[in-house]
Amino acid sequence: MSSDSRPATPADADLTLDPQDWKAFRALAHRMVDDSLDHLASLRERPPWTPPPADVASAITGEPLPTAPQGAEQVYAEFLAHVLPYTAGNRHPRFWGWMKSNGTPIGMMADMLAAGMNVNAVGMDQSAKLVELQVIKWLAEAMGFPAGTSGIMASGGTMANVIGLAVGRNAKAGFDLRQHGLYGQPRLTVYGSTEIHSWVTKCLELMGMGRDSFRPVPVGDDFRVDVAAMRDMIVADRAAGLRPICVLGSAGTINTGAIDDLDALADLAAQEDLWFHVDGAIGSLGVLSPNLRPLFRGQSRADSLAFDLHKWGYLPYECACVLVRDAEAHRDTFATKAAYLRVEDRGVAAGGLVFAERGPELSRNFKALKAWMALKAEGTDRIAAILEQNVAQARRFGALVGTVPDVVLAATISLNVACWRIAPAGTTPEQQDMLTREVLLRLQETGVAVCSGTVVQGRAVIRVAVANHRSRWADFEQLLAALPAVIADARARTGI
Amino acid sequence: MSSDSRPATPADADLTLDPQDWKAFRALAHRMVDDSLDHLASLRERPPWTPPPADVASAITGEPLPTAPQGAEQVYAEFLAHVLPYTAGNRHPRFWGWMKSNGTPIGMMADMLAAGMNVNAVGMDQSAKLVELQVIKWLAEAMGFPAGTSGIMASGGTMANVIGLAVGRNAKAGFDLRQHGLYGQPRLTVYGSTEIHSWVTKCLELMGMGRDSFRPVPVGDDFRVDVAAMRDMIVADRAAGLRPICVLGSAGTINTGAIDDLDALADLAAQEDLWFHVDGAIGSLGVLSPNLRPLFRGQSRADSLAFDLHKWGYLPYECACVLVRDAEAHRDTFATKAAYLRVEDRGVAAGGLVFAERGPELSRNFKALKAWMALKAEGTDRIAAILEQNVAQARRFGALVGTVPDVVLAATISLNVACWRIAPAGTTPEQQDMLTREVLLRLQETGVAVCSGTVVQGRAVIRVAVANHRSRWADFEQLLAALPAVIADARARTGI
């Protein structure tokens, strides 16, 4: 059909969002890569955290809806000036806050490659499905799970844990939950330590079960769950008409990195016919190291295991995984049918939507690519060596920080987290809490290091959580060396 | 501390996952950019879909767990050979299956920039928070929502819809759902058309409500929900002891692109004191066009609105958004407290975790960056012109496909979806269904075009869903021109 035979409609314009000038866009893209790599290679020259100045903040948030095109060059200039410099800083060698990793250059480029492919990684007859299945197979093997283990990549620990818990609920509810919901049924209860991450209650709220369905079990002095107490609670709850469905274990708590006795929890779950889910967001990947592996004994007995590759796997956000031992139970929780999702044995949709049958989402980016590329490029031995380095750094730092005047270690170092607080002689607990928080903030504000705060046994502490492949021992020395002056400064500022 | 004063521990090794040779990695990264852009610029030279050959599939899935490093160069070579070519093809100009967009080069590079920054976009005092707040403000304005509207970027339509429905449930339940769950309460029910997307039932299952809590309402010949019938069902259900909480509207159904009478649904929700949630994953962004905007009348009255920028916003996966008119209701559904999430008014965590208070996740990548860059670089006027182009393409294609021998249009074209089927004279409905599916598969297999199949009014149809900024009118002409031969081929293969 020649153009003169066509009516004049917008369709004739053949507009596109591809660059009008590919060569110019290519040059810009190369600058983006250079700038990003330069930034990563020179992180140590800057403080970990630089907050957005007021004029930058108002430039970002004061712009009217852009109706006219500004062009990629202009937008990138604004990105460089207003966005790139002002992050919370987890890329940085001296960032040890919460539990966030740096990301890696190969992870960064893998995300570019994935966005260029722009697959919907929901299944279908395409390479992305094969890569994700392979990554899950590798991770299952690394975690000691049997062949045939199911799994799916997820955005983060919360979603990975939600999926695991949802499968456990569906498997152990004892009624057709998917059809009828929780109505008219006894309360389904799950058991985990008081130190467990807040995803549990948030997840139970979303799942319609309510916080009441979480039964918090006390921990010992080592911050590990009291398994005998958990057993007693399960028995008592069942006698009271509740329906226990799930034992939750932590493979590294967020506060102190404590690892529950996963073997004992697996025994308990087996005895009581409960689902055993392990939240390994913080620590599970430690099993890659033969030296750390004994800490995780019993983890491979979990019915489901959630963990983050964007924490202690060093990859960029988002990259988590949940493994489910019983593939049928996994599928039974999420598989569904819709006319527009018809499975054919030929064509693009051949093989179906395998990942829509393993989680709630129908639109999924290709998170597995960065895991695939990173695992292959680095090899698990090298990653394991850096995990060991982080544990050694945390332990060595913990031993030394306790020797700094006015500092006391607040918890045994189980894994890669050191918690400590400021406790000068003659100060009250309240004064120590205030001083500890002030020291934490001054460390961040002065660019010494980003640690985070929490409360352990009722007392404010500073956490140094090491999931950082850029930290050298010299970085910890820098924090240790700066600490006396920062404490003195904080005492002067608070008058304590 | 000099190195000789340090004990020999793994910490001394100062291993890292940064490149040992930055220059070599940089060269590789530039090749990755060049290859990705070359691939995008030459898509039309290849078929939309190329399935992974058997040897490629077994190369991907047969590899043992990589313990030793293979190096980035080697892994990238495998990516080029085994992964990049074999996608379902939604990047391609002749991909009109399901509802997936192409992605854009600037979106691709924005994902690289985001992965390099590697922020956890959960809040804190950093630029990513400001950018996401600004993107939500722009999108709220574009959608006609008032100042002060809350919102959050999400992975896709399902999660965006889950968040909207969770807020509606929390706001309208009438009891402390977060604490106690659904136990002992009347069944909470939600109302939407029989044509609504399957996320609804999947979401209700996850949320513990069960599929029984979805009350499907019939549609008219235009595939729009029967609002009077919905009202009758709500009244009857309430009289029967159920507790209606939410009216669901579709701004573009997945099957035919039908847009419910959102104004009438808003009236109904107001009269019955129900939450009004609109699933606009498919179509909502149509309001960017003044010409299309009238189709969406009433959408801006929604209490919550979910939509995908990786569908009709052309961006790469994952990029969705949910807007919530009542910011307090949004926060009341998700805000939580945990010791390690303590909010300070100074330091890195100043301002708190605003996005953890708007959704379930605590780990979130910087999805807003690609939206921010794309909206600014392109401007909404240009995006709107391409939306109009897609609608014109779908309408024009629909008009012409109905003139191809043995083809009938199966539904009025409401927006950007054309449904048609193969119906030669003298064939039975069953034969027509079989033939329609064979034509769909042959179009995919021969590289003519990727359309998808569904069932409309009980009959198999082929859908051409146009959310494609790369489609030129000539691409549709190519499909139209090929169709008679493909139909003849399918008749020969099926013997119909």
Q: How far is B27 from chain A (nearest CA, A)?
A: 10
Count of other CB atoms within 10 angstroms of residue A337: 8
CB-based contact B179 A52, cutoff 8 Å: no
Cβ neighbors of B239 (< 8 A, separation 6 or more) are none
C-alpha span between B141 and B147 (Å, rounded): 8
CB-based contact A113 B178, cutoff 8 Å: no
C-alpha span between B56 and B261 (Å, rounded): 49
Structure tokens at B402: 């109905």
The pLDDT value recorded for residue B1 is 33
CATH of the domain at B315: 3.40.640.10
Cβ neighbors of B400 (< 8 A, separation 6 or more) are B476, B480
- Does residue A209 sit in the same domain as residue A173? yes
Window 284-303 of A: residues touching B by CB (8 A cutoff) are none
- Does residue B219 sit in the same domain as residue B126? yes
The runs of H, that is alpha helices, within A174-272 are 177-180, 199-206, 227-239, 262-272
pLDDT at position B50 over 80: yes
Interface test with B, best of A4, A70, A91, A109 (most B CBs within 10 A): A109
Section B439-455 average pLDDT: 97
- Does residue B349 sit in the same domain as residue B391? no
CATH of the domain at A37: 3.90.1150.170
In 3D, which of B439, B383, B309 has the Cα closest to residue A68?
A: B383
Three-class SS state of B481:
helix
Domain boundary among B378, B406, B436: B378
Residue spans of beta strands (DSSP E) within A110-163: 150-154
The pLDDT value recorded for residue B291 is 96
- Does residue B228 sit in the same domain as residue B354? yes
Task: Give how far Cα B344 sits from Cα of A210, A407, A478, B347, Å.
Answer: 28, 22, 25, 7
- Does residue B332 sit in the same domain as residue B272? yes
Please report whether residue B298 resides in a domain. yes
- Does residue A273 sit in the same domain as residue A300? yes
Closest-CA residue of A relative to B11 is: A389
Which one has a higher pLDDT value, B343 or B371? B371
Q: How far is A328 from chain B (nearest CA, A)?
A: 17
The pLDDT value recorded for residue A351 is 86
C-alpha span between B282 and B295 (Å, rounded): 13
What is the pTM (predicted TM-score) of this model?
Answer: 0.96
Please name every residue paired with B322 in a beta bridge, in sequence order, or none if there are none.
Answer: B152, B306
**What is the domain count for chain A?**
2
Please report whether residue B192 resides in a domain. yes
Please report whether residue A2 resides in a domain. no
Structural domain span for residue A317 = 119-378
C-alpha span between B165 and B247 (Å, rounded): 10
Q: Which amino acid is at A79?
A: F
Which of B211, B317, B369 is opposite residue A365, by nearest beta carbon?
Answer: B317
- Does residue B196 sit in the same domain as residue B335? yes
CB-based contact A199 B362, cutoff 8 Å: yes
**Does B405 reach chain A within 8 Å, measured CB to CB?**
no
Please report whether residue A74 resides in a domain. no
Q: What is the mean pLDDT of chain B?
A: 95
- Does residue A270 sit in the same domain as residue A402? no
CB-based contact A26 B16, cutoff 8 Å: no
Window 413-452 of B: residues touching A by CB (8 A cutoff) are 437, 440-441, 444-445, 450, 452
Please report whether residue B311 resides in a domain. yes
In 3D, which of A117, A131, A31 has the Cα closest to residue A72?
A: A31
CB-based contact A15 B386, cutoff 8 Å: yes
Cβ neighbors of B341 (< 8 A, separation 6 or more) are A198, B353, B356
C-alpha span between B372 and B134 (Å, rounded): 8
CB-based contact A131 B75, cutoff 8 Å: no
pLDDT digits (tens, 9 = 90+) for B222-246: 999 999 999 999 999 999 999 999 9
In B, which residues are within 8 Å of A120 by CB distance? Answer: 88, 90, 98, 100, 317
Cβ neighbors of A460 (< 8 A, separation 6 or more) are A421, A432, A433, A434, A436, A437, A453, A454
Q: What is the pLDDT along chain A (496 residues), one digit of tens a residue?
A: 333 333 344 445 589 999 999 999 999 999 999 999 999 999 999 999 999 999 999 999 999 999 999 999 999 999 999 999 999 999 999 999 999 999 999 999 999 999 999 999 999 999 999 999 999 999 999 999 999 999 999 999 999 999 999 999 999 999 999 999 999 999 999 999 999 988 999 999 999 999 999 999 999 999 999 999 999 999 999 999 999 999 999 999 999 999 999 999 999 999 999 999 999 999 999 999 999 999 999 999 999 999 999 999 999 999 999 999 999 999 999 998 766 666 678 999 998 899 999 999 999 999 999 999 999 999 999 999 999 999 999 999 999 999 999 999 999 998 999 999 999 999 999 999 999 999 999 999 999 999 999 999 999 999 999 999 999 999 999 999 999 999 999 999 999 9
- Does residue A367 sit in the same domain as residue A412? no
**Does B98 reach chain A within 8 Å, measured CB to CB?**
yes
- Does residue B466 sit in the same domain as residue B412? yes
CB-based contact A67 B120, cutoff 8 Å: no
Which of A102, A112, A339 is opposite residue B112, by nearest beta carbon?
Answer: A112
Structure tokens at B263: 């104004």
Backbone angles phi, psi at B217, to 5 degrees: -110, 135
Residue spans of beta strands (DSSP E) within A264-416: 275-279, 304-308, 320-324, 407-409
Q: Which amino acid is at B354?
A: V
The pLDDT-based confidence of B13 (bands split at 50, 70, 90) is low
On whether the CB atoms of residues A326 and A121 are closer than 8 A, the answer is no
| ipTM greater than 0.85 | yes
C-alpha span between A215 and A233 (Å, rounded): 8
The secondary structure of residue B89, as a DSSP letter, is -
**Does A9 reach chain B within 8 Å, measured CB to CB?**
yes
Section B354-369 average pLDDT: 96
Please report whether residue B102 resides in a domain. no
The pLDDT value recorded for residue B461 is 97
Strands A320-324 and A304-308: antiparallel
- Does residue B318 sit in the same domain as residue B258? yes
On whether the CB atoms of residues A461 and A410 are closer than 8 A, the answer is yes
Which of A111, A126, A452 is opposite residue B112, by nearest beta carbon?
Answer: A111
Please report whether residue A64 resides in a domain. no
Please report whether residue B413 resides in a domain. yes
On whether the CB atoms of residues A290 and A256 are closer than 8 A, the answer is no
The pLDDT-based confidence of B286 (bands split at 50, 70, 90) is very high
Domain boundary among B344, B378, B412: B378
In 3D, which of B378, B145, B130, B323 has the Cα closest to residue A67?
A: B378
Domain boundary among B345, B378, B411: B378
- Does residue B419 sit in the same domain as residue B289? no
